[in-house]
Structure 1
Amino acid sequence: MTSPVGLHRVVEPAGVLPQGAWRLDASPEIAANEVRIRVERLNLDAASFRQLWEKHAGDGDAVRAEVREIVAARGKMQNPVTGSGGMLIGTVEEVGRRSPLQLKPGDRVATLVSLTLTPLAITDGLARWDGRSEQVPCDGHAILFARSIAAVLPDDEDPQLSLAVLDVCGAPALTGRVVSQYVAERAREGDPRPVTVAVIGGAGKSGSLSLAAARRAGAARTVGVVPVAAERDALAAVGLADVVALADARDPVALSTAVTTALGVPADVTVVCVDVPGCEHGAVLATADGGTVIFFSMATSFSAAALGAEGLAADVTMLVGNGYVPGHAELALGLLRAEPGVRRLFESRLAAD
C-alpha cells in the first residue's frame, strides 16, 4: 500500500516519516500517487553547504565527493551533521494516475519540500559541479509524494534565480504574516507605537526577502544586521532596510546593542536568517518583551533558544519557520519582481557563485 506521505519509501528505520529516516528507496518506478522528476539542479541549504565547506577547508572536490556519498548511501540529500538538505528543480517525467499534485509530464518545476524527505538518485556523479557553490547542476531523478509540494517555474525568470528564491520562500511569507498581525493588533488597540523589525542576516537570500516582506506588511522601521562591511554596503545600497547594522550575531551583547541602537528600542519582531550556530541568545536579547523571534536558520538549537530565553527572563514568543505557508511561492516571486533591491542582491549572489 502506498502512503500519501511516503512511508512506503522508508527503508530504515521502519515506522518513521521520510524526513526522519536514515535511508529511503529512490527507485525510479512510481506508485499511482507519485510523480517522478528528472533532476536538473539541486540547491543545498546554506547551513548544510557551510558545514561541508568548513569541514573540507574549501576543497570543492571533497565537498562534491561527500554530497555524492550522502545521496548514494541515504537515497536522499540530508546532511548528517546539520540534518538539513535543500530543494531542487527539474522536469516532470511521469505522473501517477492518482497523483493530486496537478502536474503533467514536461512541466519544469521546483520542489517546495526539503531534499531531506525526497527520494533522490544521482546518475552523473555530479561531474558538472565544482563543489564550490550551493547550486548543484546534476542529472538524476527524484520522487514526489501525494503530500509533496511543487511549483511550476515561471517562464519569465532565469531558472537558477527562481530556484534561489523558492528555496527560502517560507521566510518572507511567515515574516509578513507575523508583522501584519502586530500592525493590526496595535491599530485595533489604538496603540501608536510603530512596529519594528530586525532581520539578522539581512543581506542573504531569506533575509532580503524577509526585509521586503516586513516593509510590505506595515513595519514602520526595519534594521538589517550583517556581519561584514561588504554585506553592510551591499544591503545599504539597495535600500531594503531603514538602517543597516554591523554585528556578529554570535555575540549576544553586540547583537542586542546593534539592534536597539539602530531602532531606538528592541525589535518587536526579530527574524534569524543566518546559517551559523550560536545566534539564539542574541536574537532573544534584541527582542522586546511581548515580541516574537522567528528562527529560519537550520543551524538553530532549540535547547539554546528555549533555555536562553528562560535564563534571560525574556517574555518572547519563539517560532520555528517550517518553510511552508500557503501562497509562499507566489509571494516570494512577487517580491522578486516588485522589489529591485531583492533582485539586485539575488543576482549579485548568483554571479558570485
Structure 2
Amino acid sequence: MTVPESPVGAHRVLEPAGVLPQAAQRLDTDPALWPGEVRVRVDRLNLDAASAHQLRRAADGDPDAVRQQVLGIVRSRGKMHNPVTGSGGMLLGTVEEVGPQSPLGLRVGQRVATLVSLTLTPLALGDGLERWDGRGEQVPTSGHAILFSRSIAAVVPDDLPEETVLAVMDVCGAPALVDRVVRDRLGRGLRADVAVLGAAGKSGALSLAAARAAGAGRLVGLVPVEEEATRLRASGLADDVVLADATDPLAAAEAVRGALDGHGADVTVVCVDVPGCEHGAVLATDDGGTVVFFSMATSFSAAALGAEGLAADVTMLVGNGYTPGHAELALTLYRDSAGVQQLLGARMGA
C-alpha cells in the first residue's frame, strides 16, 4: 500500500494510471482491506440486460461460451466490465469484513446488494460458474468484492426473496428518475404523458409504476412482440400498449403518437437493451419534452446528433443509476404493484 487510499477507489487501479476504477482496464482485487473499505463475500451477480444480451449474441446462445466470456472478463480485468457494452451489473452477498474507517455503516454478517456498477467494483470469483446455466441474468457464484468509501450498498430486506430484491435493485435508478421528471413537470403545471420503450422488462415495468404513482397522465408501453404485449396488457401498468420495433424510428414514433391522439409523449423512457433506439425515442417525444435513456446500449452521439438533425427541442437525460432514495422507492413500487410483481415474476420464471 504505497499510495494513499482514495474514497472513490483510485488506489485500486492497476492500469492505466490516473483514471478512476470505472475507466480502468484492470483493478486490484486483493482481499486485504484498506481502512475505509468493506469486503463482501459474493454469492450472486446480476448482469445488466444490455451486457447479458450482447454476451449471448456473441456466443451464438451457447451457455458454456457465455460462462467462459464472463470468467475471462473478471479474471483479466478484476471486475465485471463488458468491453463491448461498457456495462456490468451488480451483486448480492454477505459483509465479510469492515475496515475501521468505513463510512458505509455496514456490519459483518449483513446481506447486502451493491448499488454501484460491477464496472468499478473489484471482483474475484473463486469458482468456474458451474452453478450458472449461462442463460439468465442472475449468476450464482462464489467470490469476493471490495466496496470503497463512496460505494453504495443496501441491506437486503427480509420480506422478499433475495432474487427478487436483486432484480429490483438492479434497475432502481430508472423509476426514481422517472418519478423526479414527472413530478417536476407536474409541479410546473405541464402535461406529463409518458411513453416507455421496452415496457415489459424490469426497468420498464417499474418506470410505468413510478410514473403512475407520481401522477402522470396517459401511460403508453411499447414492446416489440405480441407475447410481451399480452403480458403488459394483463399487468394493467399501461393505459395503452403498442407494438413496434424500438429500433425502427418511424414505426416507434408512429405507434406512440397514435396512442396519444397524434401528439408525442412528454416523457419518453428508453429501457430497451439493444442499440439503435435513440432516434425513435426523440421522434416519439413532443418539443419541450424529456427523453430518459436508461439503457447501457444507448449511444450519446446517436442521441445528440439525431436530435440535432431532427430539430427536436427535447431535453435528454442519461440515467446514471443513482438518485437519493432510489432503492427504497423501487422496492415500495414492487410491493405495492401487482402488475410489477406479475411482469417481474414472468421474467424471472416465477
TM-score range, shorter chain: over 0.9
- Paired residue secondary structure (1:88): strand
Deviations 1:290-315 (A, max 9, x none): 00000001000000000000000000
Q: Please tell me whether residue 75 in structure 1 is matched to residue 74 in structure 2.
A: no
Instruction: Return the alpha-carbon distance in structure 2 between the equivalents of residues 127 and 256 of structure 1.
Output: 44
One-letter code aligned to 2:61: G
How much has 1:35 moved relative to structure 2?
A: 0.2
State the match for 1:309 in structure 2: 307
Q: Is the 8 A contact 1:13 1:21 kept in 2?
A: yes
Task: Select which of 110, 118, 121 maps to 2:121.
Answer: 118
Amino acid at match of 2:255: A
Residue in 2 aligned with 1:344? 342
Structure 1 residue 155, shift from structure 2 partner: 0.3
Question: Aligned partners of 2:151 and 2:312: how far apart in 1?
Answer: 37
Structure 2 portions without partners, runs of 5+: none
AA aligned to 2:137 is: E
Distance (Å, rounded) in 1 between the aligned partners of 2:30 and 2:128: 17
Q: Distance in 1 between matches of 2:53 and 2:229?
A: 20
* Runs of 5+ unmatched residues, structure 1: none
Residue aligning to 1:331: 329
1:51 CA drift (Å)? 0.4
Indicate the residue corresponding to 2:236 in structure 1: 239
TM-score (norm 1): 0.97
Are 1:249 and 2:246 counterparts?
A: yes
Secondary structure of residue in 2 paired with 1:171:
helix
Which of 185, 193, 198 is the matching residue for 1:196? 193
Counterparts of 2:141 and 2:192 in 1: how far apart (Å)? 44
Q: Which residue of 1 aligns with 2:67?
A: 64
| Residue in structure 1 matching 2:154, options 151, 154, 179 | 151
Structure 1 position 133 matched with structure 2 position 130: no
Aligned-partner Cα distance in 1 for 2:107–2:128: 28
> For the aligned residues, what is the CA RMSD?
0.7
Counterpart in the other structure of 2:293: 295
Q: Distance in 1 between matches of 2:286 and 2:347?
A: 32
Measured after TM superposition, the shift of residue 136 of structure 1 is 0.2
Shift of residue 351, structure 1, vs aligned partner: 1.0
Match of 1:206 among 203, 208, 212: 203
2:282 counterpart residue number: 284
3-state SS, counterpart of residue 99 of structure 1:
coil
Of residues 40, 47, 50, the one that matches 1:47 is 50
How far apart, CA to CA, are the structure 2 residues paired with 1:339 and 1:134?
Answer: 23
**Cα offset, 1:30, TM superposition:** 0.6
Distance 2:253 2:130 in 1: 45
Task: For residue 349 of structure 2, give the secondary structure of its aligned residue in structure 1.
Answer: helix
User: One-letter code of the match for 2:335?
Assistant: R
Q: Which runs of 4+ in 1 moved over 2 A?
A: none
Answer whether contact 1:92 1:107 (CA < 8 A) is retained.
yes
Contact 1:222 1:263 in 2 (8 A): no
The aligned length equals 346
Partner in structure 2 of residue 7 of structure 1: 10
TM-score if structure 2 supplies the norm length?
0.98
The residue identity in structure 1 corresponding to 2:200 is A
Equivalent-residue separation in structure 2 for 1:83 and 1:131 (angstroms): 20
CA distance in 2: counterparts of 1:262 and 1:86, whole angstroms: 33
**What SS does structure 2 have at the residue aligned with 1:49?**
helix
1:271 aligned residue: 269
1:93 is displaced (CA, Å) by 0.2
1:31 to 25, 34, 39: 34
Shift of 1:91: 0.2
Give the residue type in structure 2 aligned to 1:85. Answer: G
